[in-house]
Chains A and B, each alone.
Chain A
Amino acid sequence: GQQVMQIPQYQHVQEGEDFTTYCNSSTTLSNIQWYKQRPGGHPVFLIQLVKSGEVKKQKRLTFQFGEAKKNSSLHITATQTTDVGTYFCAGAWGGATNKLIFGTGTLLAVQP
């Protein structure tokens, strides 16, 4: 079935270090989205990637979509304590519906 694998499951960094989480699908995605969930909160949409090889930036966050549209990554430069939370990727495979299948998430802990 359709699924998205996400690694690592957990990452602990010192404030100021970089962080990357990766997502992979065995089949070609139509698009991929990224969400952030703060502890005790709900997922909040960050960005959507649609085009092959697409790269988008939001301040210190860089999102990439692979050339084959099967993988994606989120990179945070110089982490801050406000970056703490779980980052999820979510894949869509097209069709008439727009359901998303979420990865298992990467929990980021940032030590001041």
Chain B
Amino acid sequence: NAGVTQTPKFQVLKTGQSMTLQCAQDMNHNSMYWYRQDPGMGLRLIYYSASEGTTDKGEVPNGYNVSRLNKREFSLRLESAAPSQTSVYFCASIFDRVRIGNYGYTFGSGTRLTVV
């Protein structure tokens, strides 16, 4: 059981280049999320998909787009990378509404992105 798999693990981009961060989960989870983590800022929600076929903006969506390709996969695209997007990006998933039981998000191992 792989859980949440993110690719690539590391990436260096030049300003203006584009790239797609991939995320896939094999736990049959309905909801998926993209967060970015910067020093002293915690984890900030970029976009999320509550269920297959839906996507919504989070706290910091500018400069990003997402695609919920199917139930397993949720990708994050940077159309024109900027140095301010240098960060660690985490994908996460959860089966259903966070109200019942004692379970939370499962996170991937992250993508460390540097934009120069």
- Asked if chains A and B come from one complex, the reply is yes
Residues of A within 8 A of B101 (CB): 48
Q: Is A111 close to B, CB under 8 A?
A: no
Contact A100 B105 (CB under 8 A): yes
Contact A42 B98 (CB under 8 A): no
Q: Please, what's the 1-or-0 string for B90-102, where 1 marks a CB less than 8 Å from any CB in chain A?
A: 1010101111011
Q: Is B33 close to A, CB under 8 A?
A: yes
* Binding-face segment, B17-25, B44-52, B77-85: B44-52
Q: Is A78 close to B, CB under 8 A?
A: no
Residues of B within 8 A of A68 (CB): none
Q: Is B43 close to A, CB under 8 A?
A: yes
In the complex, which residues 6-45 of chain A have their Cβ closer than 8 Å to any Cβ of chain B? 6, 9, 30-31, 33, 35, 41-45
Known contacts A33-B104, A43-B107, A98-B31; decide if A88 and B42 are in contact (CB<8 Å): yes
Residues of B within 8 A of A43 (CB): 43, 90, 92, 105, 107
In the complex, which residues 60-98 of chain B have their Cβ closer than 8 Å to any Cβ of chain A? 90, 92, 94, 96-98
Residues of A within 8 A of B33 (CB): 99-100
A interface residue count range (under 10 / 10 to 19 / 20 to 34 / 35 or more): 20 to 34
Contact B107 A42 (CB under 8 A): yes
Q: Is B41 close to A, CB under 8 A?
A: yes
Assembly CA distance A41 to B109 (angstroms): 7
Contact A103 B50 (CB under 8 A): no
Q: Is A84 close to B, CB under 8 A?
A: no
Contact A42 B90 (CB under 8 A): yes
In chain A, what residue has the closest Cβ to B109? A42
Contact B108 A98 (CB under 8 A): no
Q: Which residues of A contact B (CB under 8 A)?
A: 1, 6, 9, 30-31, 33, 35, 41-48, 50, 88, 90, 92, 94, 96-105
7 new A-B contacts, CB < 8 A, other than A44-B107, A48-B104, A100-B33, are A43-B107, A45-B106, A94-B99, A98-B94, A99-B58, A101-B45, A105-B43
- Interchain residue pairs A-B with the least CB separation, the first 3: A45-B104, A98-B98, A104-B42
